[in-house]
Amino acid sequence: MERETEEGKPVIEVAMGGQEIFVDAETGEIVAIDNLYEKGDPEDLEEINEFLKLQKYGVIPIQEALEAAESFAGGQAHTVELENEDGNLVYEVVIGLQEVYVDAGNGKVLFSETISTVNKSDDSQFKSSIQVP
């Protein structure tokens, strides 16, 4: 999910199920749907395939992760991705210059860090409730 501007209007872009869905950020109306497989953007396809592979582990809804991260950081999310961080299933939510990591199994904020000083060498921070191979 990403927040963007299309034709001067704020939209939320959500990629799921092989589609990129654009939702008006003010009204909640779907304004466009693109087929990711037809577009063929390798980065988008890689993200959607990773999401589909990871979601089978019984993750919390993306909205729950967003609410936890936004409440924690006191701002509005720009992007959110479901990720496998060294075997730990987490949502990475970007809010301003912060990356907030939310446990994908229970919705608890694990930790946050400033993007400009990201150092992921300490894997102990990621101990999520869902472990994946």
C-alpha–C-alpha distance, residues 108 and 16, integer Å: 23
- Inter-CA distances, 94 with 7, 35, 39, 70, 78, Å: 23, 25, 25, 9, 6
Chosen domain end from 10, 34, 55 = 55
Question: Each residue's pLDDT tens digit in the chain (133 positions)?
Answer: 666 777 788 787 776 666 777 777 777 777 877 776 676 666 767 777 787 788 888 789 888 998 999 999 999 888 888 889 999 999 999 998 999 999 999 999 999 998 865 555 555 677 788 888 7
Residues 94-117: pLDDT tens digits? 998 999 999 999 999 999 998 865
Q: CB of 35 within 8 A of CB of 44?
A: no
How far is residue 77 CA from its own chain's centroid? 9
Counting every residue, how long is the chain?
Answer: 133
15, 48: one domain: yes
- Do 41 and 73 have their domain in common? no
Give Cβ neighbours of residue 125 (< 8 Å, ≥ 6 apart): 101, 110, 111
Residue with tokens 């990475």: 92
Residue 118 DSSP one-character state:
-
Q: Model-level pTM? A: 0.66
Q: Which domain holds residue 70?
A: 62-126
SS3 assignment, position 45: helix
Residue 92 in contact with residue 70, Cβ under 8 Å?
Answer: no
CATH code, domain with 100:
3.10.450.40
Please tell me whether residues 13 and 48 are part of one structural domain.
Answer: yes
CB 99 within 8 A of CB 115: yes
How many Å apart are CA 119 and CA 111, to the nearest integer?
Answer: 13
